[in-house]
A and B are shown apart, each in its own frame.
Chain A
Amino acid sequence: MFREKLTTRKNLEALKHEIDLDEHKLSINEVYRRYGTSPAMGLSEERASVILERDGPNDLTPIRRTPEIVRLAKNMFGGFAMLLWIGAVLCFIAHFLELYTLDDPQYDNMYLGIALASVIIITGFFSYHQQAKSSKIMESFKYLVPQQACVVRHGKSRNINPDKIVVGDIVEIQRGNRIPADIRIIRAHGLKVDNSSLTGECEPQVRGIEYTNDDILETRNLAFFGTFAVEGSCIGVVIRTGDKTFIGRIANLTAGIERGHTPIAVEITHFIRIITIIAVVVGVIFCICSLFLGYTYVEAVVFLISIIVAQVPEGLLATVTVCLTLTAQRMARKNCLVKNLEAIETLGSTTVICTDKTGTLTQNQMTVAHMWFDNHIIDSDIDAFHTQSNYIKYSHCWSALARCATLCNTATFTDDPNNLSKPVLQRQCEGDASEIAILKCMEDITGNVSNYRSINSKVCEVQFSSSNRYQLSIHSTDDNDERYLLVMKGAPEKIIKNCSTIYVDGCEIEFNQFWKTQYETAFKELSNHGERVLAFADYRLPLNKYPRGYEFDCDTINFHVNPYFEHFNFPTDGLRFLGLISLIDPPRVNVAEAVQKCRSAGIRLLMITGDHPLTAAAIARYTGIITDQDTTEQLIENVFDNNARSCVIHGSTLKTMNSIQLDNLIKYHQEIVFARTSPQQKLIIVETCQRLGEIVAVTGDGVNDSPALKKADIGIAMGITGSDVSKQASDMILLDDNFASIITGIEQGRIIFDNLKKSICYTLSSKIPELSPFLLYMIFQIPLPLGTIAILCIDLGTDMLPAISLAYERAESDIMKRPPRDAKTEHLATDRLISMSYGQLGMIQAGGGFFVYTIVMAENGFFPSRLFGLRKSWDSRSINDLEDSYGQEWTYEQRKALEDTCHTAFFVTVVIVQWTVLLCCKSRRNSLFRQGMSNHVLNMSIIFETLLAILISYTPYINRGLMMYPLKLHWWFLPLPFTLLVLIYDEWRKWIIRKYPGSIIDQETSY
């Protein structure tokens, strides 16, 4: 068993390393040789089955699932529940001890044991139900696996089930297929694959046969299992199958990662430890006392157990669960869907957010950002356009650039009246992402693109290809110019070579060195913004050479076969340079604000993206993740400079770093952008942060983010763009994909931590009035002032709703202005909280209880002097003539009726004093008058608990069932002085804390 666990851990470690793959570097023949295959024949069936036997099916092996019963058991016996179980078992032991040693056993301990057990079972099922909804990680990966695959075997191609594919198989992939395994491409026809599940980049990537990059994700001649062939077709040889594939490793990594305990779980364990220590210490002290007082050993043990059990906060588990559930519901209303209840608090204590770029910070939609013409860079923001509208209206250069951009563009709006009636930015389009961006921009500024295109009809076009990196089209224009117009768009360095003139301020002038420098400056500036720059040029074809009706030959067929050989019957050089348009996937609207809020809340933001360093840095600057104004190059150099605040680090640099360097990197730089990172690296970054004691939140949407999402203390997936896998691996889902929603989450998380503290303070404060009657009963031998059932009525009845209502309490101060709590020093339950709750609020309550107890006893004949030492006779069923202070004689039943009346009065007192305890717990520093009474749930809960107390004490049958008796009206008013005392005392305490921060009262009582 242990060995098995060790090997899984080793495997997991292995998975964290980058995939070891060199097939893309080898020549194709070497690959054939390695796998003993040939492109024409493929593998033989026999050999394929041998390999299948050896490697196993090409399938993602589901990890061994924890059986449901084990998960249920974990909820039933983990942490807090265990404490309660121990309590319950102790109760039963005490009960049986009594049963076998006393003639006249009480059933209190049995009731208590049963109540404890039911609380655990009910809350156990509740949290099991909450958990059962999540964790279907492996299932979600299955959607990436294709249904069918076309394989060449024995020289014949056939469709087989993809799990039968083995390494060395030759597979054929058509447009729209999912790639059935990791393949090295042998032949490709205009293949484009959607690698978004691996890299997070949404744009389809061109794939071919050439080896272009050392990086396996970048190089053109590899395609990966689970990715999608968007365009074209290809033939490839299988080099990895099943769990060894890129995605298989991610899947296994994700599923295999085990997360540590959530901060709240750690806090609760800490809390349990404190409570247990106190309970056992108090129990043992009084157990020894009782031996000295002359009780028997059995009695002493029963006392010990009763004292320990009396301090178990029965209702707290339910309170915490309900508080978290309520917050989860509130967050769901603000578009944060919480899958794991404990994660809510985790978000509040988060110290580092590792955020993905594409889709999280950005809109995942290319948009025109800037234009350069007339030697000006113009912001393409609509508002900016309107302020400069005159300038644009009269700029010839602008109209030429706009014409070029409109015409030399193959993207169209989806032809659907419904779609066309929408605002431009929201319309559905067909075509390449950058062309769509330009189309939308033009539609927005000039309007009616389709009409303009139809009157300037296209005569001929050359499509964009990754090899020529430009596209051109020839149009007849509507501006009474007989000449054909050639418009060209493409990569600037390509276009610049084809231009001889430049159009500036309405004049066509020579594209000389000066203008080239101007262009260089503009280009650099734009690309430094992380923008993708496209250049535009046009050319009027001379009428004499190219008259109307001229047959343009784009050499389409030849062009596709060998794009490097351009053979057109028209010139593509000597063009007129018009300008640049730069595109970017812009940050979402609220992101910058949200980042600012994170920062003021003391949370570090790290950007981890698969994107290019320049683009990443630009977005980081836009959103405020990087505040350093240095150039990106400088930032990249900053990596090894521990004094620099910000840095940008490339995945390949990251790969060379050891863990110490990585620790230093994250420790010394406040603002870090990780670019070109692999899924494994994301995971390593998260692990490094956690090693440094940070509580890490990770946002992401792609499959590639899922290991990091799983490993993070809280994984946050995107609801709209997020992949199924990422949603399964995460703890929380942002339904609106809006990074700003995280802020709400953090705020709620922090509030709930504060409020849980208040809730615990409130719940624990009734422990002293519950415990002290027993202690006095034991030591002074007075009749028991408060019985077990009454204690249960408080813990599981009247105290529940008020404790829960504190979850609705608003924050005391601007919690988003303070740093996240320090997990090491700032605990949920501190000794100060307990001393405050037990020692102060609890003591006043207990005082009130005993006061009322004494009054009730005295009014019925037993003066305090009579009570001392009375226990034995009082509890003896054989004594039927116990004399009180008036000489009246009481039978056993009559005394017990009086005792139960006292229990009721004590219970009611606790309820009434808890009114103001609840009000005091509303705030930890603020005066109640400042905090206000706007928490209506809390106000209602006070009324509710009072009504419940009235119901319990006055309703026939119910009161007898709970061993209560109706109280006389004036007994209800006896606790009021204590109620007031609590309020006055606590207001005074808080006033001191506010007035003299750091004073002894502040140090000892502020929790």
Chain B
Amino acid sequence: MAIIDKSIPPYRGNSSVFALDTSRPNPGFDFRPQISIEKTLIKYRSSYRDSWGDHKGWGVYKEQLDQYLAYYTEADVQYQQAIDCNGVPIEKLRPQFYQGKSCLFDINIFNKSETPCVTQRNFQYDRGCPCVLLKLNKIYDWEPITYQNAAQLPEQFKALWTSKFSDYILVQCNGENDVDQDFIYEIKYFSQMNTKTIGEFHRNFVPYVNQDGYRSPLVFVYFKRIGTNVLINVECRAYAQNIDHNDNLEYRTGSVHFELIVE
């Protein structure tokens, strides 16, 4: 494919296929662990550990999370393009991104803040309160328009407003239907800002411009107390001014859906 640039997609922004249905690109949103490509179900028996192959226990889920996080814990020896972006405004970072630099996502935030979502604690699967990893899809050149003041925020976040919010894409999970919400008693979020009441991705990780060694920011959702032996439909949404939510089940953007059954 000599005629096509290997690192820059020919169609970006509003002219890319990402924008076909929504008129502007709208990043998807995904979760881990996902053990089958055909299922969005996390189902396990909390008292039962097993490894790959037997799908009753939580072993597979832990192993997948471990594998996924390994990418973040290993040092990037191959490219070494990661830079520390803490406190650097995006205007300064952006040109660097185009030169191949990308922000370092410090996986230690999960360890540092004594979160339960660490491998040493089996991501709490054994206790029946699973941690689920959320990540934002990479779309070349896409940048969020973050909320600049409380007025722009969706209703449910207004009370939480702090000025730091203007640097973040917000994340919130909930039961998809009223019934599901009834079974979710308490959720905590572990991410960079560490507010615990809401998840967030720092906007410095975007735009993604196909940098080598790029790592997406992550958020852990900790289902601290949920109903057991019941199927709970969970929906997590990312919030920014240019992320549209379509509640149509067919065309899901800016949100992710998965089911939980903890026995």
Contact call A890/B210, Cβ cutoff below 8 A: no
B139 proximal to A (CB < 8 A): yes
Question: Are B18 and A894 touching (Cβ within 8 A)?
Answer: yes
Question: What is the minimal beta-carbon distance from B186 to any residue of chain A, in angstroms?
Answer: 26
Check A881/B135 contact, CB under 8 A, given A859-B4, A861-B9, A889-B28.
Answer: yes
Given contacts A103-B38, A886-B9, contact A860 B210 (CB under 8 A): no
Chain A, residues 97-125, CB within 8 Å of chain B (1/0): the string is: 00000011000000000000000000000
Q: Which of B10, B11, B37, B137 contacts A873 (CB 8 A)?
A: B37
Interface members, chain B 60-113 (any A CB < 8 Å): none
**A775 sits at the interface (CB 8 A):** no
Of B4, B11, B17, B39, which is within 8 A of A894 by CB? B17
Tell me, in angstroms, the Cα distance from A878 to B9 when the chains sit together.
25
Out of B7, B9, B17, B36, which one reaches A897, CB within 8 Å?
Answer: B17
Q: Choose, from B155-163, B168-176, B249-257, the stretch at the interface.
A: B249-257
Residues A868-892 near B (CB distance < 8 A): 872-873, 876, 878-881, 883, 885-892
Are B20 and A887 in touch, CB under 8 angstroms?
A: no
**How far, in angstroms, from A968 to B137 measured CA to CA in the complex?**
25
Which of the residues A863, A873, A881, A894 comes within 8 Å of B30, measured between beta carbons?
Answer: A881
B29 interfacial contact with A, CB 8 Å: yes
Are A860 and B137 interface neighbours, CB within 8 A?
no
Q: Does A965 contact B (CB under 8 A)?
A: yes
Q: Does B16 contact A (CB under 8 A)?
A: yes
A898 within 8 Å of B (CB atoms): yes
Of the candidates A887, A893, A898, the one whose C-beta lies within 8 Å of that of B138 is: A887
Which of A873, A876, A888, A901 has a CB less than 8 Å from the CB of B20? A901
A568 CB, min distance to chain B CBs, angstroms: 110
Tell me which residues from 1 to 43 in chain B have a Cβ below 8 Å from any Cβ of chain A. 1, 4, 6-11, 15-18, 20-21, 27-30, 34, 36-40
Q: Mark A2-13, 1 if CB is under 8 A from B, else 0.
A: 000000000000
Please name all residues of chain A whose beta carbon is closer than 8 Å to the beta carbon of B252 when the two chains form the complex. Answer: 880, 891-893
Is the CB of B208 closer than 8 A to any CB of chain A?
A: yes
Question: Is A859 a contact partner of B10 (Cβ separation < 8 A)?
Answer: yes
Known contacts A860-B9, A878-B39, A894-B17; A889 and B30 CB within 8 A of each other: yes
Taking a contact as CB atoms under 8 Å apart, the answer to whether A889 and B37 are in contact is no
- CB contacts (< 8 Å) of A883 on chain B: these are 138
CB of A965, distance to nearest CB on chain B (Å)? 6
Residues on B with C-beta less than 8 A from A859 are 4, 9-11
Report how far A873 CA is from B38 CA in the complex, Å: 8
State in angstroms the CA–CA spacing of A889 and B17 once bound together: 12
Given A859-B11, A879-B37, A881-B135, CB of A890 within 8 Å of CB of B208? no
Interface centre among A883, A889, A890 (most CB of B within 10 A): A889
Q: Are A858 and B28 in contact (CB under 8 A)?
A: no
B-contact 0/1 string along A489-503, CB 8 Å cutoff: 000000000000000
CB contact under 8 A between A863 and B1, given known A887-B210, A889-B137, A893-B251: yes
Task: Judge whether A860 and B11 touch: CB under 8 Å.
Answer: yes
Query: Is B140 in contact with chain A by the CB < 8 A criterion?
Result: yes
Interface flag for B125 (CB, 8 Å): no
Tell me the complex Cα distance, A900–B9, Å: 19
By size class, the interface of chain A is: 20 to 34
Mark each residue of chain A from 958 to 979: 1 if its CB lies under 8 Å from any CB of chain B, else 0: 0000000100100000000000
- B10 near A876 with CB under 8 A, answer no
Contact between A878 and B28 (Cβ–Cβ < 8 Å)? no
B214 contacts A by Cβ under 8 Å: yes
A864 proximal to B (CB < 8 A): yes
Residues in A with CB closer than 8 Å to B27 are 889
How far is it, in angstroms, between the C-alpha of A609 and the C-alpha of B57 when the chains are bound? 97
Contact call B4/A858, Cβ cutoff below 8 A: yes
Q: Scan residues 930-969 of chain A and give those whose CB is less than 8 A from a CB of chain B.
A: 965, 968
Would A901 and B17 be within 8 Å (CB), given that A863-B1, A881-B30 are in contact? yes
Q: Given that A859-B11, A860-B17, A863-B1 are known contacts, is A888 also in contact with B208, CB under 8 Å in the complex?
A: yes
- Contact residues of B between 204 and 231, Cβ < 8 Å to A: 208, 210, 214
User: Of B1, B37, B38, B214, which one neighbours A887 at CB under 8 angstroms?
Assistant: B214
Is the CB–CB distance between B208 and A880 below 8 Å? Answer: no
Q: How many A-B residue pairs have CB under 8 A?
A: 95
Q: Determine whether the beta carbon of B138 is less than 8 Å from that of A889.
A: yes
Q: Are A965 and B20 in contact (CB under 8 A)?
A: yes
Expressed in whole angstroms, the Cα–Cα distance for A893 and B22 within the complex equals 11
Bound-state Cα–Cα, A863 to B214, Å: 20
Cα–Cα, bound, A279→B8 (Å): 44
| A890 CA / B25 CA spacing, docked (Å) | 11
Q: What residues on A are CB-neighbors of B214 within 8 Å?
A: 887
- The contact of A858 among B1, B29, B30, B137, by CB within 8 Å, is B1
- Bound-state CA distance A880–B254 (Å) is 11
Chain B residue with Cβ nearest A894: B18
B249 to chain A, nearest CB (A): 10
A881, B28: Cα distance in complex, Å? 7
Which parts of A188-204 form the interface with B (CB within 8 Å)? none
CB distance from B131 to the nearest CB of A (A): 18
Give the distance to chain B from A785, nearest Cβ to Cβ, in Å: 15
Q: Are B28 and A888 in contact (CB under 8 A)?
A: no
In whole angstroms, how far apart are the Cα atoms of A879 and B30 in the complex? 8
Find the B residue at minimum CB distance from A863.
B1
User: In the assembly, what is the distance between CA of A863 and CA of B252, in Å?
Assistant: 25
Scoring A859, A886, A890, A892 by chain B CB atoms within 10 A of each residue's CB, the highest score goes to: A886
Q: Which residues of A contact B6 (CB under 8 A)?
A: 885
Known: A878-B34, A878-B38. Contact between A891 and B253, CB under 8 A? yes
User: Could you tell me the distance between the alpha carbons of A876 and B39 in the complex, rounded to whole angstroms?
Assistant: 9
Contact A888 B39 (CB under 8 A): no
Q: How far is the CB of A874 from chain B (nearest CB, A)?
A: 10
Would B17 and A888 count as touching, CB distance under 8 A? no
Contact partner of A878 (CB less than 8 A), chosen from B17, B40, B140, B250, is B40
Contact assessment for B7 and A886 in the assembled complex, using a CB-CB cutoff below 8 Å? yes
Please indicate the chain B residues that have their CB under 8 angstroms from the CB of A887 in the complex. 138, 140, 208, 210, 214
Which chain A residues lie closer than 8 Å to B8 at the CB level? 886
A102 to chain B, nearest CB (A): 9
Q: Which residues of A contact B138 (CB under 8 A)?
A: 883, 887-889
- Measured between alpha carbons, how far is A893 from B25 in the docked complex, in Å? 12
Contact B11 A893 (CB under 8 A): no
* CB of A993, distance to nearest CB on chain B (Å): 37
Interface centre among A103, A861, A891, A968 (most CB of B within 10 A): A891
Q: How far is the CA of A864 from the CA of B4 in the complex (A)?
A: 12
Which residues of B are in contact with A by a Cβ distance under 8 Å? 1, 4, 6-11, 15-18, 20-21, 27-30, 34, 36-40, 135, 137-140, 208, 210, 214, 250-253, 256
Which 3 residue pairs of A and B lie closest in terms of their CB atoms, listed nearest first? A891-B28, A889-B137, A881-B30
Chain A residues in the interface with B (C-beta under 8 A) = 103-104, 858-861, 863-864, 872-873, 876, 878-881, 883, 885-894, 897-898, 901, 965, 968
Task: Return 22 A-B CB contacts under 8 Å, by A number.
Answer: A104-B38, A859-B9, A859-B10, A872-B37, A878-B34, A881-B28, A881-B137, A883-B138, A885-B6, A886-B210, A888-B9, A888-B138, A888-B140, A889-B28, A891-B29, A891-B30, A891-B252, A893-B251, A894-B18, A894-B21, A898-B17, A965-B17
In addition to A881-B135, A890-B28, 16 A-B residue pairs with Cβ atoms within 8 Å of each other are A859-B10, A860-B10, A879-B37, A880-B137, A881-B30, A881-B137, A886-B7, A887-B138, A888-B208, A889-B30, A891-B28, A891-B29, A892-B252, A893-B21, A893-B250, A901-B20
